[in-house]
Structure 1
Amino acid sequence: MKNNTESFKLKRNERQELWIEGILTMSLLFLVDFAIGNIIVNFIRHNQGVTDGIFIIKQSVTFGPFRQPILSWEGLFWFIMLLINGLIAWWRLVRIYKRIEISRIIDELHYISDGHFEHKIPFQLSGDNERVVKSVNFLVENVIKSMDDERRIEKSKDDLVTSVSHDLRTPLTSIIGYLGLIEDHQYQSEADILKYCKIAYEKSQQMKLLVDQLFEYTKANNLKQRKLEMNPIDVNQLLTQLETSFALEASKRGIKIVVKPLKKDVIMSSSAELVGRIFNNLITNAISYGEGANKICLSAKVKGAQIQFTVANDGKRIPTSIIERIFERFYREESSRNTNTGGSGLGLAIVKEIIQNQGGTINVNSTDKLTSFVFTLPIKGKQTD
């Protein structure tokens, strides 16, 4: 693909065409000039009055200190005709030059239409033709962008199928295996049967969680097409409710939920369902993956027309390589693919999708002391149609 543009240069055959056209044009014009000249000469010679008038004018019009008479009328005629010939020839050659430019543009368009969709017109022109070139190149850039987006979407679909297949196959294999043991009577006692059934049940719960999160992610992607119910939400009351809701689960991991409310009560308008989903995923993520954490801090600040929320934990620092991809769907550390966490890698992707569709932003910062997920939501959310 050619990206660099350069000045328009004529090919050898195009230069030859211009030369031939110039010579032919001047030749034809000189023939016309001679014909007109002969007509004028014959007219003057056969009209004595005209001849006498020209003589008188030549004698009366002089120039210079020695009062030299002006050139003969024949010289003046040929001077004027040469000037006119030059203008006509120049106009003619410019027209042909523009036609060559258009022809070259058409050739480039044919090359692009033959399947070279990433090719740009590599030369610069002037005037209207340059506008055509810029329009074509702009169109090519949009085509390239669309093709890249399509490839990215296609790859995303492939990744989705691969990840879902991986996450479903692992627990499904265990379920089939343990139920197969029961089916084949490969057990010693009723306790073994209960054990196998329990494992199969836990694995089926993992599968249900993944399916539920897939459904949740799909809904998050389609928020723009959904009509949301907007609810008045007291920010401080929301934080208090979250503390109560997750206190028991967090205490099982030796973690305490700490709330830092706003100094002044603020009522925001948003979807209670979506806000709850955001916090549920972020807090659950902090409890599950905040290795060595002793507390999870929930706080809020007013930032202009938005509320800035923070979900932070004092657990182990998240490596930079992971932070860069942490909001990608299905992305996890390989070490997190285990039965203890049961994570699907969709939770944070869902959070980001919801927040962005609501006009907010989210980012994460992790140090040795604190890992913070900071996101914003409009105080007055907009109704999504």
Structure 2
Amino acid sequence: MEGIVTVVILLLVNLSVIVILNEMIQTNPGLQDGIFIIKRSVFIGPTHYQLWSWENIFIVLMVIFDVGVVYWRLIRRYHQMQLRHIIGELHYIANGHFDHRIPFTLKGDTQRVVTSVNSLVDSVIASIDEERRIEKSKDELITNVSHDLRTPLTSIIGYLGLIEDHQYHSEEEILKYTNTAFSKAKQMKSLVDDLFVYTKMRQTDTPLSIATLDVDQMMEQLAASFELEAGEKGMSISVETPDEPVHIEADAEKLGRVFNNLISNALKYGEGGKHIALRVNPVSDDEVVISVENDGQKIPRAALGQVFERFYRVEESRSKATGGTGLGLAIAQSIVSLHGGYIYVTSDDELTRFVIHLPVKNGVKIKNQQVKPTH
């Protein structure tokens, strides 16, 4: 409709201009003579065709101009219609249809707009999903912490309440109550401390006290510190290192916590095991692999992909018989990740191995090559 209106207006304008020019030429003899001279001196093509009518020349020029104007108007209107369609699609998505994307394919800058809008919607949806996941994770964290704090807190209140109400028969019984309350309080403190460390390690901007670390010497010190406890459980600890010293840039205190957690877990949960091995293997100039292995009871295959989740315990019950808060491996994974490395576990009837890949230089991030176990 706009094209038709534009054509009609242009025809009227053209007719008006032709009438006005014709009137000017008819009333001006000098102009007529000038036009006649130009006509006779202008030849077109190999046949030397002469233009005897200025109206024909003007009409051809006006037709070319009119076609250009009509084309410009129609293309402009077409782009406006495309833009309205895009806005309509955006309103449809904004009304809650987040799985919808602008389906049509256009050309030029308009298609870039469509692609950008679809990418933006994907990014927003991904952000919303991530926010929901984080919110759910926070709720689970609060639930788990509440559960693990409530049990020892109930015991503390119960035993102290017995003392408060004088429900004891001897000083020995009082000491028994206070000793139990004290143990439960230490258990609560351990959980709070681990929770603090876990949340701190989860922050990507957590500072690291980087220094050059002798990995061989660190493993020897760890083995020596756990030798007595391992002997009490009928287990031995050995260290296997390469002939050449291995040095990395890392936070010694935080990495020490990682290996303390892994060795402690091997002693607690490696039922039936006789040996724990700490192995150091520099696989390249940029990467070192350190493993903590034990020959105790294997981890069920279905649990391998969950052992690094916070508060997860392999045993079915949440009994504290083996101690621990369920945060040790989650903390270890966070610390290793802060160093630019990664950690994974394998387990079979013969050996359970926690394998840590660390970069030699600080600031380098190693790509995780481990294939996640299937459940």
Q: TM-score, normalised by structure 2?
A: 0.83
- 1:257–1:297: 8 Å Cα contact kept in structure 2? yes
- 2:345–2:355: 8 Å Cα contact kept in structure 1? yes
- 2:307–2:314: 8 Å Cα contact kept in structure 1? no
- 2:216–2:241: 8 Å Cα contact kept in structure 1? yes
1:91-150 per-residue CA deviation (whole Å, 9 max, x = no partner) reads 111111122233344445556667777764443332222333333333322222222222
Q: What amino acid is aligned across from residue 237 of structure 1 in structure 2? A: Q
Q: Partner of 1:307: helix, strand, or coil?
A: strand
The Cα of 1:175 is off from its aligned counterpart by 2.4
User: Which whole-Å CA distance do the structure 1 matches of 2:197 and 2:44 have between them?
Assistant: 99
Q: What amino acid is aligned across from residue 164 of structure 1 in structure 2? A: V
Q: What amino acid is aligned across from residue 265 of structure 1 in structure 2? A: P
Q: Partner of 2:292: helix, strand, or coil?
A: strand
Counterpart among 28, 39, 52 of residue 9 in structure 2: 28
Structure 1 pair 38–237 and aligned structure 2 pair: CA distance change class (3 A): same
Q: 1:169 corresponds to which residue?
A: 150
Counterpart among 311, 325, 332 of residue 330 in structure 1: 311
- 2:238–2:277: 8 Å Cα contact kept in structure 1? yes
- 2:200–2:206: 8 Å Cα contact kept in structure 1? no
User: Which whole-Å CA distance do the structure 2 matches of 1:320 and 1:213 have between them?
Assistant: 26
Counterpart among 218, 229, 238 of residue 199 in structure 2: 218
Alignment of 1:310-349 (within 5 A): 310-333=291-314, 335=316, 337-349=318-330
Q: 1:247 corresponds to which residue?
A: 227
User: Which whole-Å CA distance do the structure 1 matches of 2:49 and 2:194 have between them?
Assistant: 104
- 1:172–1:203: 8 Å Cα contact kept in structure 2? yes
1:264 counterpart = 2:264:
no
Structure 1 pair 33–337 and aligned structure 2 pair: CA distance change class (3 A): same
Structure 1 pair 189–33 and aligned structure 2 pair: CA distance change class (3 A): same
Q: Partner of 2:325: helix, strand, or coil?
A: coil
Q: 1:374 corresponds to which residue?
A: 355
Q: Partner of 1:249: helix, strand, or coil?
A: helix
Q: 2:120 corresponds to which residue?
A: 139
Q: Partner of 1:362: helix, strand, or coil?
A: strand
Alignment of 1:1-385 (within 5 A): 20-43=1-24, 47=29, 49=33, 74=55, 77-109=58-90, 120-187=101-168, 190-222=171-203, 224-226=205-207, 228-303=208-283, 304-333=285-314, 335=316, 337-381=318-362
User: Which whole-Å CA distance do the structure 1 matches of 2:174 and 2:45 have between them?
Assistant: 130
1:353-379 per-residue CA deviation (whole Å, 9 max, x = no partner) reads 111111111111122221111112233
Q: Partner of 2:205: helix, strand, or coil?
A: helix
Q: Partner of 2:191: helix, strand, or coil?
A: helix
Q: What amino acid is aligned across from residue 376 of structure 1 in structure 2? A: H
Q: What amino acid is aligned across from residue 147 of structure 1 in structure 2? A: I
Q: List runs of 5+ in structure 1 lacking aligned partners.
A: 1-19
Q: What amino acid is aligned across from residue 126 of structure 1 in structure 2? A: K
- How many pairs were matched up? 360
- Stretch deviating more after TM superposition (291-300 or 331-340): 331-340
The Cα of 1:162 is off from its aligned counterpart by 0.3
Q: What amino acid is aligned across from residue 138 of structure 1 in structure 2? A: S
User: Which whole-Å CA distance do the structure 2 matches of 1:344 and 1:172 have between them?
Assistant: 15
Q: 1:6 corresponds to which residue?
A: none
Q: CA RMSD in A?
A: 3.2
User: Which whole-Å CA distance do the structure 2 matches of 1:54 and 1:234 have between them?
Assistant: 98
The Cα of 1:207 is off from its aligned counterpart by 1.3
Q: Partner of 1:335: helix, strand, or coil?
A: coil
Structure 1 pair 109–255 and aligned structure 2 pair: CA distance change class (3 A): same
User: Which whole-Å CA distance do the structure 1 matches of 2:320 and 2:212 have between them?
Assistant: 39
Relative contact order, higher structure (CA 8 A, sep 6+)? 1
Q: What amino acid is aligned across from residue 90 of structure 1 in structure 2? A: Y
1:144-196 per-residue CA deviation (whole Å, 9 max, x = no partner) reads 22222221221111111100111011122222233334444545555544443
Structure 1 pair 176–334 and aligned structure 2 pair: CA distance change class (3 A): farther
Q: What amino acid is aligned across from residue 340 of structure 2 in structure 1? A: G
Structure 1 pair 41–380 and aligned structure 2 pair: CA distance change class (3 A): closer
User: Which whole-Å CA distance do the structure 2 matches of 1:291 and 1:297 have between them?
Assistant: 15
User: Which whole-Å CA distance do the structure 2 matches of 1:222 and 1:54 have between them?
Assistant: 85
- 1:336–1:343: 8 Å Cα contact kept in structure 2? no
User: Which whole-Å CA distance do the structure 1 matches of 2:45 and 2:141 have between them?
Assistant: 95
- Stretch deviating more after TM superposition (163-172 or 77-86): 77-86
Q: What amino acid is aligned across from residue 123 of structure 2 in structure 1? A: N
The Cα of 1:57 is off from its aligned counterpart by 7.6
